[in-house]
Structure 1
Amino acid sequence: MSKSKTEAGNFFEDFKVGQEIRHATPRTLTEGDAALNVALYGSRFAINSSDEFARGLGLPRAPLDDMLVFHVVIGKTVPDISVNAVANLGYAEFRWGVPVYPGDTLSVTSRVLGLRENSNRASGVVWVRSTGANQRGERVLDYIRWVMVHKRDPAAAVAGPAVPKTATSVAPAALVVPAGLSIKGYDDVAAGSSHRWEDYAVGERIDHVSGITLEESDHMLSTRLYQNTARVHFDAVAGKNTRFGRRLVYGGHVISLARALSFNGLANGFRVAAINAGSHVAPTFGGDTIYAWSEILEPAAVPGRSDVGALRVRTIAARDCPCDGWPGKGSDGKYHPAVVLDLDYWLLMPRRLA
């Protein structure tokens, strides 16, 4: 009898600090991916929607949505990193590189940075740094994320904990502005907002007003579209055996919904340049309605650029709870029960020209 040729994926005890992983399979992105991304999330940012708008800024055409790149790169890592995940826990040091255009092919590699077994010995947390590159070897995305992963055998002995230290934020000097981009031709009317970098104040809060109800079919399409094979997202039978009794929505899906909702108030935030930190505070399920609000944390100049500024933003997403009451953390440090996402990130935004 021949040995099975199928792969069960890595469990916690299979990871080793320093381990290098080259992920299958490369993915060529097309205009179809861009259209499906809009269908899933309703994103309206002009630079990703209009070739003419993008050309007016000196780009060859509309780049693909930054979060689409995020989904594809993470999706490539799932079969090796998180197919046996309990949950995705957090992000750090996310930095986007060169823009991705239809026709580009993305490949991904990862390195294991840290491991820590949970006290129940049934699972542990794995930290990885993953890098996505295009067909020319140019970096399109680089990030750290940590995932709670089941053990194959709770009794299996594992090495002692090795928890990496991650940066609290990405320095503004490290943010990448697309080559050739110029704000001289920026059209506020076409972009949907007259508010530029100078118009936002530290501590300002923005209720993005609208909600989007997340259907089961939406997150099932997204997991397949991004080739995300994590069982907690797509296997309803396996989901019945979890503490939730059903499938969990892919966390990146909620990030994209929050980003799309943020158009109302942050329409000129034309590029997500980096994620400083992020937490999936609570699970999300089909049928939940997602709302979002944002707080301005910090404006920063981009070295060498007088036409583009960076805006550090914290966006909170909540389920079944409109955000006019600013659900977040209370004085006791605990999150409002509706909060599902807490994301700290840098946006690139046009400045007013002298």
Structure 2
Amino acid sequence: MVDNSSPRDPSKANGATRDDVDWTILESVSPHPGDLVRFVVEKTGLSRQAVNKRVSALVEEGLLEASGATKARQYRWRPLVRVPLSEGLSEDRIWRESLAPRLGDVSANVRAILQYGTTEMINNVIDHSDASELVVLLKPLEDDIEIYIEDNGEGFTQKLVRELRLENAQHALLELSKGKLTTDPDNHTGEGIFFTCRMCDKFMIWSRDICLMRIEGSGFFVLDAPESRPGTTVRMIVRRDTERTPGDVFDQFASAEDDYGFTRTAVSVVLARYEGETLVSRSQARRLLARGDQFREIHLDFRGLEVIGPAFADEVFRVYQREHPRISLSWDNATDEVTKMIRKAERAFASESGSD
């Protein structure tokens, strides 16, 4: 897999904040219940004493539980919710009874974002994961509210690849990021993750050994997970002082001309690039724009790409536009080299369509 110009991983530096270290510990519990401290020491470069101190603090705070003697000690989450998936389990009841009362004095818009994201992610577990257990962790911090949701099912990338016949896990992440992707179109719209990740200030979703991360203001990144983990894990972070509302996000991708339906999408082009590749071919461009005909407007974000090839640009901005005249393409965050390729293809399209 790839790390597409991702930000520095703070958990790998000795200058990591306490919250960074805590989340590294919590993220590592499932694959490393018996060697948690050793693994976190190796991953972060922190001393064993420092990691032990934070692990003990998380146990005292009720986020971890420990069992067994010192040499055989095992750790696991002590979550807010740990329930078997059974008939009648509902996401709104989990939210209403277990999470909402523990949020304290947060603003109405932050509460609305957390409710939307939490219920959408839990519904995905209930309806799609084929899991036997759901785990939810809530961590109210001074500046943020963080919610962690995990299941022990197949893993969403594996399910998408298998049922939709996609190439691989990264192809699944690209398609997921576009929106309107679901394995159950009769009962779902495929919008939950699309909107949730854009409401949060930071959103991460793991499936086995790959992670899709979005940071507000920085875009999408694909990361290798340090260890393969069972099922799907979601981490949502919302700043307490955010002024964003769910309606703000919905409105960005809706059009009054279409009764405010989900008619616009935004695609991070770097997600179409596999490890060791440059975006140069027409087949890569076609993969980028697959299912684009489900939208009236497609915005392409070229952040994280230094160059693209002329064939790739021509396929997107001349061939695709010619074949889909009712779809509007826009773009931003392109380097000078990328802009040259785009402008050349746009001029070719304008010339052949007589719109010079």
- Normalised to the residue count of structure 2, the TM-score between the two structures is 0.24
Structure ID, larger Rg: 2
**Could you say which structure has the higher strand fraction?**
1
Higher relative contact order (CA 8 A, sep 6+): 1
**Could you say which structure has the higher helix fraction?**
2
- Normalised to the residue count of structure 1, the TM-score between the two structures is 0.24
